[in-house]
């Protein structure tokens, strides 16, 4: 029986899962469900990466142990995967004993191959990426991946002879050009290896939160050697029970984000070659989600939390949007506007209306019976399914769904042409309805990996029981009667939705669209009401404007911020989107000063900003603060400082 082993990256437990994390896992779930429906022996692994400096640091900041932090955050992942309908077969945590056993078994093989030695190492080290870089790879003296600052670090360390694998890796890429997908990423990886590989430090003595290096407890294993080994440790590699490892390894697909390609396409195969283990079939580096065309980042306050969307629209809609909106290999932008457009056009209209109209007509005109039909949609349906299967084979969710939507569009046209509602009860009408139902039923089966809930409901509503790709036939007899399916994806009134968001009165935006923070988790559910109401402030004398106490005024957090970037908000002549440096953080702030000031006039200026306003959305763009401006006869006037002030300086 064909088998399919698919993995996601294991996620760091130093923060909340966001839409980017959800994306990778939803895509992996889409592929895993598809292979199960094809009858392949499928194994889908995800998990959490719990060791290393990032987690150690975040835990210290929170005042908890790394283990406590991991235990708390891992629950967030379990919860999100449950709500998204993720069907992983296993969830590995790198703090589990089975994992440590697997990692040490990998390391032992590297040592036995003579590929591990101890030496002193000095070089630029990026704490953010937990990696040493070569001087030549730095970008403007900063880490090439994220622009984090680097510091020269000297450490005694164990090294892996990565340099020895430069040629074997290049040979691998030449012999198996689809080892790395998409093709453009293969080219990046190849150039990286061609530019020369140095031996890789695989231990750290500066941190303690990790797997102790065997025989040298002053060192812990480098977090990436630890983390990458999860793909085999979860299968029981290194334990007495290696049956699962023997069944599923090598992996068919490591699905990862483009930022961690080097680890998976260079280091991991080199480790495996050294260990004498088979290599995975494909490593796919998917593109990233941005928010309203900007990079998502905590400091911009624009990280998209999938939970409110799940609450309001359900798992099927969120999964569909993620899979359909952007090609998997490239970056894409998440926005409420795009989400609602897809929801209304593709789900409410194309799919929902079709399913409801068809099931309704079948029920009312044919007593719920789907007949044999006249075969007129058969070829078109299989043509669409072939395109769908081909896209699945290329790991292309968007294209797979496009093939199905092209079919839905043809089904809608077919019904409009045949107008069965005008010829109720005639054999022609029954044929038309039966054809459309048979076609939609097979489309719904193919939709299952993307939208398991809706897909099953549609098949049920057409009177067909569960099936899979092996058993489904065009001529299958329905197992029951068709019955009207209503309210599958009720259309969203965009105006009402955005109005609600502006007022912050919906579940979706109760938190102002702001990502949850670790702080939320520490807060008790709800503070009991204080035993006594605080003494009321003295009332203002009638007729006089209210006066603020100095303490009240100080609650406004005014700071100096330096405008790093400014650009117009599309479709607005007033709004400008600013990226503002406050010393320790950067924020996105939207200002209504665009009629008076051009973006070029703003870049580089240091101005006062209100920093503790609740986040707000202006024309769909999130703003995390407000620039201070006077109002002179209706025109904004920016304030500036007489002297140079460092960004972030507190004014109140
Ligand atoms: N722990 C490592 C992976 C070890 S795998 C052996 C790690 N974790 S992570 O939590 O930082 O990232 C996990 C995945 O999320 C990565 O594949 C990364 O590309 C992905 N994403 C993080 N932000 C993303 C977007 N904005 N969009 C899409 N995916 C993104 O790296």
pLDDT of residue 519: 32
Pocket (CB within 6 angstroms of ligand 1): 9-12, 20-21, 23-24, 49, 227-228, 230, 256-257, 259-260, 288-289, 296
Which CATH superfamily hosts domain 556-638? Nucleic acid-binding proteins (2.40.50.140)
| pLDDT at position 484 over 50 | yes
Query: CA Rg, the chain, in Å?
Result: 29
Q: How far is CA 477 from CA 19, 65, 270, 456, 462, in A?
A: 41, 59, 53, 17, 11
The ligand 1 atom at the shortest distance from the C-alpha of residue 256 is: 17
Gap between the Cα atoms of 29 and 122, Å rounded: 42
Give the DSSP letter string of 102-166: HHHHHHHHHHHTT-EEEEEEEEEEETTTTEE--GGG-BTTB-TTT--B-EEEEEEEEEE-GGGGH
pLDDT of residue 612: 84
Q: What is the percentage of the chain residues whose pLDDT exceeds 70?
A: 93
Chain-centre distance of CA 69, in angstroms? 21
Listed by start position, the domains of the chain span 335-492, 556-638
**Alpha helical stretches, state H, 448-545:** 452-461, 494-503, 518-522
pLDDT digits (tens, 9 = 90+) for 409-448: 999 999 999 999 999 999 999 999 999 999 999 999 999 9
Expressed in percent and rounded to 5, the helix, strand and coil fractions of the chain are: 40, 20, 40
Res. 483 pLDDT band, cuts 50 70 90: very high
The ligand 1 atom at the shortest distance from the C-alpha of residue 230 is: 6
| pLDDT at position 234 over 60 | yes
335-492: CATH topology is Isoleucyl-tRNA Synthetase; Domain 1 (1.10.730)
Q: Whose structure tokens read 């992983």?
A: 88
The ligand 1 atom at the shortest distance from the C-alpha of residue 268 is: 6
380-408 as b/e: b if 16+ CB within 10 A: bbeebbebbbebbeebbbbbbbbbbbebb
> What average pLDDT is seen over the chain?
90
The CA-to-CA distance between both ends of the chain, in Å, stands at 69
Gap between the Cα atoms of 382 and 438, Å rounded: 11
Q: What is the pTM of this model?
A: 0.78
Among 20, 297, 326, the mutation site with the greatest number of ligand 1 atoms within 8 A of its Cβ is 20
Mean pLDDT of 509-533: 31
Distance of CA 9 from the midpoint of ligand 1 (Å): 7
Intrachain domains 335-492 and 556-638 with the same fold: no
Q: How many other β-carbons are positioned within 10 Å of the β-carbon of residue 53?
A: 20
Distance of CA 329 from the midpoint of ligand 1 (Å): 14
pLDDT of residue 319: 98
């Amino acid at each position: 029986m064909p088998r399919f082993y698919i993995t996601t990256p294991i996620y760091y437990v130093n923060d909340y899962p966001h839409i980017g994390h959800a994306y990778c896992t939803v895509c992996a779930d889409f592929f895993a469900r598809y292979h199960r429906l094809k009858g392949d022996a499928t194994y889908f692994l995800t998990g959490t990466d719990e060791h290393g400096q990032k987690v150690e640091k975040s835990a210290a900041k929170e005042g908890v142990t790394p283990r406590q932090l991991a235990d708390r955050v891992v629950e967030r992942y379990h919860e999100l995967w449950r709500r998204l309908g993720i069907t992983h077969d296993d969830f590995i945590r790198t703090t589990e004993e089975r994992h440590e056993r697997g990692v040490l078994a990998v390391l032992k093989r590297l040592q036995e191959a003579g590929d591990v030695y101890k030496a002193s190492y000095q070089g630029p080290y990026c704490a953010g990426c937990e990696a040493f870089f070569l001087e030549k790879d730095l970008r403007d003296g900063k880490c090439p991946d994220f622009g984090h600052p680097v510091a020269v670090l000297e450490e005694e360390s164990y090294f892996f002879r990565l340099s020895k694998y430069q040629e074997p890796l290049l040979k691998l890429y030449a012999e198996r050009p689809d080892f790395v997908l998409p093709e453009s990423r293969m080219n990046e990886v190849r150039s990286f290896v061609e530019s020369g590989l140095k031996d890789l430090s695989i231990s750290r003595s500066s941190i303690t939160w990790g797997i102790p290096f065997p025989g040298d407890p002053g060192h812990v294993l480098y977090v990436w050697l630890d983390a990458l080994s999860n793909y085999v440790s979860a299968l029981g590699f290194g334990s007495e029970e290696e049956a699962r490892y023997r069944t599923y390894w090598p992996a068919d697909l490591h699905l990862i984000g483009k930022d961690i390609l080097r680890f998976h396409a260079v280091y991991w195969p080199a480790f495996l070659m050294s260990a004498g283990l088979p290599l995975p079939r494909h490593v796919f580096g998917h593109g990233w989600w941005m928010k309203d065309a900007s990079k998502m980042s905590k400091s911009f306050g624009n990280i998209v939390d999938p939970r409110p969307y799940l609450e309001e629209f359900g798992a099927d809609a969120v999964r569909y949007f993620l899979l359909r909106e952007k090609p998997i290999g490239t970056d894409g932008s998440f926005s409420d506007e795009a989400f609602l457009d897809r929801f209304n056009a593709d789900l409410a209209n194309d799919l929902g209306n079709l399913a409801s109209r068809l099931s309704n007509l079948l029920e009312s005109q044919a007593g719920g019976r789907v007949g044999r039909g006249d075969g007129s949609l058969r070829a078109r349906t299989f043509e669409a399914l072939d395109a769908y299967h081909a896209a699945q084979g290329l790991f292309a969710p968007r294209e797979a769904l496009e093939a199905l939507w092209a079919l839905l569009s043809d089904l809608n046209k077919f019904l409009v042409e045949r107008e069965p509602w005008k010829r109720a009860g005639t054999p022609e009408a029954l044929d038309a309805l039966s054809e459309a139902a048979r076609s939609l039923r097979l489309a719904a089966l193919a939709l299952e990996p993307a939208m398991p809930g809706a897909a099953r409901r549609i098949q049920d509503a057409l009177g067909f029981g569960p099936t899979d790709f092996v058993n489904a036939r065009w001529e299958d007899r329905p197992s029951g009667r068709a019955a009207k399916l209503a309210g599958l994806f009720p259309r969203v009134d965009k105006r009402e939705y955005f109005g609600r968001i502006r007022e912050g009165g919906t579940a979706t935006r109760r938190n102002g669209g702001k990502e949850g923070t670790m702080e939320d988790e520490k807060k008790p559910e709800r503070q009991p009401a204080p035993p006594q109401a605080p003494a009321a402030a003295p009332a203002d004398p009638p007729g006089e404007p209210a006066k603020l106490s100095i303490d009240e005024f100080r609650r406004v957090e005014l700071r100096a911020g330096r405008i790093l970037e400014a650009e117009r908000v599309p479709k607005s002549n007033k709004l400008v989107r600013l990226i503002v440096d406050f010393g320790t953080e950067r924020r996105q702030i939207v200002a209504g000063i665009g009629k008076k000031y051009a973006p070029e006039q703003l870049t580089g200026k240091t101005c006062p900003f209100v920093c503790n306003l609740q986040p707000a959305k202006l024309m769909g763009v999130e703003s995390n603060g407000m620039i201070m401006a006077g109002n002179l006869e209706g025109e904004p006037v920016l304030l500036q400082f007489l002297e140079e002030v460092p960004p972030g300086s507190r004014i109140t």
